[in-house]
Structure 1
Amino acid sequence: MSKETLTDVLIVGGGGREHAFGWKLRKSPNVRHLYFAPGNAGTEKLGRNLDIGATDIDKLARFAADNKVLTIVGPERPLANGIRNQFDKDGLKLVGFTQESTLLESSKAWANGFVEHHNIPHPSTKVFRKVGDALQFFESVNPQNFVIKTDGLWDGKGVVLPKSVDEATRTVMDMMVGDVYGEAGRIIVVQEKLVGREVSVIGITDGKTIRYFAPAVDHKTLFDRTQNERKQNPNTGGMGAYAPDPLMTPKLFKEIHETIMQRAIDGMREEGYPLNGGILFAGLMITEDGPKVLEFNVRGGDPETQVQSMVMKNDLLPVVNASLDGTLFRRSMTQRKGAAVGVYLVSEGYPGKLVIGRVVNGSENDFGPDVEFFHAGTARDKVTGEIKTSSGRVLCVTAYGQNVPNASDKTYSIINRGDVNFERAIHRQGIGAGK
């Protein structure tokens, strides 16, 4: 293979999603060097971690220009801050949408207007810009029938399912008046609470064509019902996932593609915000009336990317390149037979006040080709060399198996034996069991 065919890749971000992208790209024969900005203790085994923050667009652009890399953005904030716009201006290749296109995720109020205009199935939604209007609304309804969301980005956690008028009132005040959510909550979106099952449908698009990762099922609350004997069971960034979704039928997937995903791609192009060269993520509820989109994201899921990478059969790099040059119709995404289940180990206090800095044991052990530890909140101690916890979600223990229950058994056997652990680690039970 000639040297000219090799690609150097910069992955922006430092979580489990970015580790998984790097892990998959490392398998490509056409990837030479991998860089992560800033990366974590797991990504350093795949390439080189850079002392550059994920939102430091100027430094990222300089590094990309100096090293002639293909850049792939993991998290949403750099996209919302305009990293694609800057890279386009500088003539640099970057996978991720423009700041304008990112409105699909960065403003739920804007996205609500978009799905209404383009006839994309979604729950009944109200947007509140005044505190008094929101408080008055919840005095006249049963709050348990609604979901309250911040308009802006809040790391996937700006969602509350109120159980009472008092909780709804506190949430409205916290979001719209208090400083808990900052500017993200000054406008709130209140959605009808749908009944059904959730699924994440995610694909790479060039603005016309989309190629899909395996449909995945995420688990947002900290505990499952058998664990949770307490009143508090907060939403999180995601406690684990499995892929593919065994309940996804070809007929249902076709409906999702035609009525939600393709309409979103075509609609954004009509709006003048084409989704070329990036990832489109629809969080869906499958209801008795069919699939409805709860929200759109403009990046890969976390923990969905971890399990999707484990079951992906094809080389990811050609698909990524095709999304940038408009030739995605010539490419396909294929999946291995079987399934993957990932379960996060999270820090004490998550998703609230965290206790971090604890030593992680076992994460560098090799459990064979069917098991991966995708790092998220980890860092290597520069003095002792130990890997320590550095954030809320620490490690996504991920296993591949014959089917979802088999993969689930493998994942939980590792966790329950303590093969990988840290003090007071928390995990959710039952992900993928019996599916």
Structure 2
Amino acid sequence: MRVLVIGAGGREHALAWKIAQSPRLTKLYIAPGNAGTEVVGENVAVDATDHQAVIDTCRRLAIDFVVVGPDAQVVAGLGDDLRAAGFTCFCPSKAAGQIEGSKSFTKALCDEVGIPTARYGHFDNEAEARVYVREQGAPIVIKADGLAAGKGVTVAMTLEEAEAAIVDCFAGAFGRSGAQVVVEEFMEGEEVSLFALCDGQNTLLLASAQDHKRAFDGDTGPNTGGMGAYSPAPVLTEALTARVMDTIITPTVKGLARRGAPYQGVLFAGLMLTAEGPKLVEYNARFGDPECQVMMMRLRSDLLDLLHATATGNLSGKFAVWREEVALTVILATKGYPGNYDKGTEIKGAEGLDTSDVQVFHAGTKREGGRLLASGGRVLNVTALGATVAEAQKRAYELVDQIVWPEGFCRRDIGWRAVARGE
């Protein structure tokens, strides 16, 4: 099978790395890829936002199967366009992808099918949103309705912070994504993620993970796309997982099918484990980043086989086998991220570290004149396996300390909750 992976981040490097292990693979391409993906496949210079260019590339390379990684292309309908052109594609439809592309769409679906979630208000103007916030009080959560690269959420501990976040959204801080705002109740609890594959009818549970959104140690600083993660998340027990499947995942899949938008792809549920039970925080319509990296390290099954079965409606009878170890990843980011940061700084010592138990997945990297350079905000995903979260954490940071990059930074406490519990 000739496969094209769309994307350039750490998620896509992890997907390509795992797909490259499949006996069904004939040739692997990544578009546009990064300095890491060129080791496991062939990078192709194509603009993923230009859907016709992607289709033309698929024809030129005689691609049998396309795997779409980034959320922006899911929401933009790349999967629909590829299928219309005759290609098999792992990517939800644009209609189903609204579960990530519009938070108000997901909230309405929750209301419709009875999915437990935070109380909320949905607004298309600043004045009404500010009135609602004053009525509800703080703490409270302000979310840009559309995609904002993980940065459109403000957990406001004061009314002043909440109103400032609303002003930012309607002032264009997140472009069109902030033209509408969802204001949510602040939920107390521990946040965790659960992933499942859906082929439109059948659902296959994958794995759980916990990521760390805040930029700095102790869960402080601004929200990011994710500064690290580990899998599985022990806090999400088998009993809680079954409850999530029954009360959140299954009703979602059935609700979307009834709406005429059957879900085919990976369903990524962000959850809050509250005193009342698990509640949906938000959905994503693609693999998480950096959750994908830790999941791929643990997956024993043929990823290509599972993704193709999902895309062709053949998940029934499929199952996923996992390594028993914990996987943990630490994100090395450019200083200044998630705000302004420099590009083009050199990274040394990041290559030649990979073994069966440790992998350095690349995100914002490129090669120039034999040098490895940083080309983005999140740059490297240093990932390790261990018998416990503490052991995986120790191995990951041992690798981090071998990398020489003065212009980079990372959190030093990834997995801290589980480590504190002795997990």
- TM-score tier (shorter): over 0.9
Per-residue deviation at 1:367? 4.1
What is the Cα deviation at residue 120 of structure 1? 0.8
Pairing of 1:368-387 with structure 2 (within 5 A): 368-381=355-368, 384-387=369-372
- Assess if the C-alpha contact under 8 Å between 2:334 and 2:409 holds in 1: yes
For residues 142 and 126 of structure 1, the distance between their equivalents in structure 2, rounded to whole angstroms, comes to: 13
Candidates 53, 75, 87, aligned match of 1:59: 53
Matched residue, 1:245: 233
d(CA) in 2 for partners of 1:42, 1:213: 25
Q: Is the 8 A contact 1:199 1:215 kept in 2?
A: yes
Q: In 1, distance between residues paired with 2:378 and 2:311?
A: 31
Per-residue deviation, 1:356: 1.8
Q: State the TM-score, normalizing by the size of structure 1.
A: 0.93
1:34 aligns with 2:28: yes
Instruction: Return the letter of the residue paired with 2:246.
Output: E
State how far apart, in whole Å, the 2-side matches of 1:222 and 1:205 are.
32
Contact 2:172–2:179 (CA under 8 A) maintained in structure 1: no
Q: Does 1:167 align with 2:161?
A: yes
Superposed CA offset, 1:69-114 (max 9, x none): 3100001111211111111211111100111111111011111101
The residue type paired with residue 159 of structure 2 is: V
Extract unaligned runs of 5+ from structure 2. Answer: none
Among candidates 167, 188, 200, match of residue 195 of structure 1: 188
2:416 aligned with 1:402: no
State the shift of 1:370 in Å: 0.7
Letter in structure 2 aligned against 1:428: R
| Structure 1 residue 340, shift from structure 2 partner | 0.4
- Partner in structure 2 of residue 4 of structure 1: none
Distance 1:113 1:362, change over 3 A: same
Equivalence for 1:3 = none
Question: How is 1:6-45 mapped onto 2 (pairs within 5 angstroms)?
Answer: 7-45=1-39
Task: Map 1:413-428; keep pairs closer than 5 Å.
Answer: 413-415=398-400, 418-428=401-411
Q: CA deviation at 1:310?
A: 0.5
Deviation at 1:391, TM superposition (A): 0.7
SS in 2 for 1:308: helix
**Matched residues in 2 for 1:68 and 1:11: separation?**
10
Aligned to 1:268: 256
Q: RMSD of aligned C-alpha atoms?
A: 1.3
Q: Residues 346 and 395 of structure 1 are in contact (CA less than 8 Å); yes or no, is this contact kept in structure 2?
A: yes
Does structure 2 conserve the Cα–Cα contact (< 8 Å) formed by 1:147 and 1:191? yes
Deviates most, 355-364 or 100-109: 355-364
- Aligned ranges for residues 8-407 of structure 1 at < 5 Å? 8-66=2-60, 67-144=62-139, 146-176=140-170, 178-225=171-218, 233-276=221-264, 278-381=265-368, 384-407=369-392
Q: Name the SS of the counterpart of 1:148 in structure 2.
A: strand
Q: Report sequence identity in percent.
A: 36
1:143 shift after superposition: 2.5
- In the TM superposition, residue 139 of structure 1 has moved relative to its aligned partner by 2.7
Q: Which moved more, 1:315-324 or 1:297-306?
A: 315-324
Instruction: List per-residue Cα deviations over 1:323-382 (Å, max 9, x = no partner).
Output: 12222011101111111000100001000011221101112113421110111011111x
In 1, the alpha carbon distance for the partners of 2:53 and 2:404 equals 35
Distance 1:19 1:179 in 2: 32
Task: Classify the secondary structure of the residue corresponding to 2:251.
Answer: helix
Q: Secondary structure at the match of 1:216?
A: strand
Quote the Cα distance in structure 1 between the aligned partners of 2:91 and 2:354.
33
SS of 2:346's partner is: coil
Paired amino acid for 1:80:
V
Hey, what's the Cα distance between the residues in 2 that align with 1:125 and 1:35? Answer: 43
Give unmatched runs, 5+ long, in structure 1. 1-6
Q: Following TM superposition, by how much is the alpha carbon of 1:165 offset from its aligned partner in structure 2, in angstroms?
A: 2.2
Q: Which piece of structure 1 moves more, 187-196 or 315-324?
A: 315-324
| Cα pair 2:192 2:271 within 8 Å, conserved | yes
Q: Which contiguous aligned blocks of 4+ residues in structure 1 show a shift greater than 3 angstroms?
A: none
Residues 124 and 192 in structure 1, CA contact (< 8 A), matched pair in contact too: yes
